[in-house]
Structure 1
């Protein structure tokens, strides 16, 4: 089965399931679905950053500071976060990612999904999927901040990053 054929739950503005659709159709028709975003940090606290492959259905060849992806039909956000993190990082035995918050991403141009944001520590050596990841490295928060204006980033990841930065400020103080 291709990625475009993967079945997704279609959800309403309150994240209630209202139907199912193949991923390719959901993207083509702008149907709201679910996604998991996982910020993976190594033992030194650096964030896993990667550039997506040019074959990705959404946001090909752009940089991202999250691993993750769509939540399959009938799958929980938590299960999707772990599955996607292990797949993209190329590891097994990763601790279950910690849920932080959820928000509705909507770019106003037909791309909309409920986005659950997680964090996980990955002390394992990574071997990212070549089908998903064209380049990767672990970067410090400062390095990411410097590259925000230099690199082209996935817009949903930037939205999640902005919310995560605000969330961390709120919970720290």
Structure 2
């Protein structure tokens, strides 16, 4: 394995592995891969929404999901969720209540890949990795979508994920 290269599983329309590709190849060619996202939700129903650091290669300075990342080659969704939560938020999932709230296909939604979405319940802002995020806020789904609609830059799937997962809180 080449140092610094992120390997992902390329999958077909049934989420079955059909090959192994680099992250860059997947992005350049639009190949379907797997990802995880999670939202920290407090007792008031607010989502913990961070801003990506400006040195991020993809979506620098954009609002982001509380946790997000690709499922590495050979990894399953849950393992990726645990790894990303630890890397980005210094959060051990054995210490907080969490649950899977959705599973999406890019063939049935406008999302960028197969995706599992999780929800972590906490009233405490995490000790996030400053290499990943620069700042964060607790926002209701409506407040978040309002910021995005007003022009605050956001990661590609963020608004759609909020609509799909928390749309009942928008009416």
Once the two structures are superposed, residues 19-61 of structure 1 have per-residue CA deviations (whole angstroms, 9 ceiling, x without a partner) of: 1112122222222100001011235543110111233232222
Counterpart for residue 99 of structure 1:
100
TM-score relative to the length of structure 2: 0.80
Q: Does 1:147 align with 2:147?
A: yes
Counterpart for residue 18 of structure 1:
18
What's the secondary structure of 2:135's corresponding residue? strand
Q: Does 1:73 align with 2:73?
A: yes
What's the secondary structure of 1:155's corresponding residue? coil
Where does structure 1 lack aligned partners over 5 or more consecutive residues? none
Once the two structures are superposed, residues 68-126 of structure 1 have per-residue CA deviations (whole angstroms, 9 ceiling, x without a partner) of: 110111111112122212322223344363112222347xxxx9311111111135552
Counterpart for residue 161 of structure 1:
162
Counterpart for residue 54 of structure 1:
54
What's the secondary structure of 1:83's corresponding residue? helix
For residues 98 and 57 of structure 1, what CA distance do their matches in structure 2 show? Answer: 30
Counterpart for residue 131 of structure 1:
131
Tell me: CA distance 1:164–1:125, structure 2 relative to 1, closer, same or farther (3 Å).
Answer: closer
Task: Note if contact 2:7-2:23 (Cα within 8 Å) is conserved in structure 1.
Answer: yes
For residues 121 and 32 of structure 2, what CA distance do their matches in structure 1 show? Answer: 29
Task: Note if contact 2:145-2:159 (Cα within 8 Å) is conserved in structure 1.
Answer: no
Task: Note if contact 2:48-2:125 (Cα within 8 Å) is conserved in structure 1.
Answer: no
Where does structure 2 lack aligned partners over 5 or more consecutive residues? none
- The alignment yields a C-alpha RMSD, in angstroms, of 2.4
Runs of 4+ in structure 1 displaced over 6 angstroms? none
TM-score relative to the length of structure 1: 0.80
